[in-house]
Amino acid sequence: MLDLKGKFIALEGIDGSGKTELARSLRAHLERRAKKVWITSEPTEWFRSYVSILKDVRDPLSLFLLFTIDRNSHQKEISQKLNEYDYVISDRYLFSSYAYQGYMLKEFFKTYDDAIKWMKNVSKVITVRPELTFYIAIDEKTAIERIKKVRQMDELEKLFNLEKVKETYEKYLMGDMITIDGLKDKNAVLKDVMDYLDPEI
């Protein structure tokens, strides 16, 4: 992690886990404590518009490389904001690529481990890394029910098998994340996250 003023926090989890709502609640809570907070997300708007135009970009290798290009640009913006704000909160970051493309990249590699290792090597260009990464744990059935209650699933969400994505998160990435029970009500989820931040505020 570069020597920057602010603290960088990433929120991870499958679609429908409540990351976006948590990011907003966390910002509001921190701002009440006189902290300056900037929220961002991945994929960026540039990425979403690019994929929506190029309908044929659907293979996992191309998607991962596009995500990496997008993230390389994104990290420069995050780095700038970390010098302006006390906290930068990203709704998804690096681990989302590992989880969402990892299980599909097996066709290019012998094992999951080889696919994850390759993605990590490519991602060495991403030098701006979160100091804290929270994984919001939820089952895929509940996640899909939540999404359908408020909106239609978008083109990117339809591409992925959430059960496989969840498995990749929990089998290969847990050692680098703090797990939060996403089935709790939103206030309890916020409290669980704040328990890790309170000592330094």
Q: Evaluate whether residue 2 is within a structural domain.
A: no
pLDDT digits (tens, 9 = 90+) for 19-64: 999 999 999 999 999 999 999 999 898 887 776 666 666 688 888 9
- Report how far Cα 41 is from the mean position of its chain's Cα atoms: 8
Give the lowest-confidence range in 11-15, 36-40, 128-132, 157-161.
157-161
Helix (H) / strand (E) element for 27: namely: helix 19-31
Q: Evaluate whether residue 194 is within a structural domain.
A: yes
Q: Evaluate whether residue 1 is within a structural domain.
A: no
Give the lowest-confidence range in 55-59, 126-130, 171-175.
55-59
Report the number of distinct structural domains present in the chain.
Answer: 1
Q: Is the pLDDT of residue 191 over 50?
A: yes
Sheet holding 178-181, edge to edge: 37-41, 87-91, 7-12, 132-137, 178-181
Give the lowest-confidence range in 2-6, 43-47, 55-59, 159-163.
2-6
Q: Evaluate whether residue 67 is within a structural domain.
A: yes
* Opening angle at CA 55, ends 112 and 118, nearest 5: 20
Domain that holds residue 55: 7-200
Q: Evaluate whether residue 29 is within a structural domain.
A: yes
List the CATH number of the domain containing 189.
3.40.50.300
Q: Evaluate whether residue 108 is within a structural domain.
A: yes
**pTM of the predicted model as reported, rounded to 2 decimal places:** 0.89
Q: Evaluate whether residue 35 is within a structural domain.
A: yes
pLDDT digits (tens, 9 = 90+) for 139-157: 988 988 888 887 766 555 5
Q: Evaluate whether residue 22 is within a structural domain.
A: yes
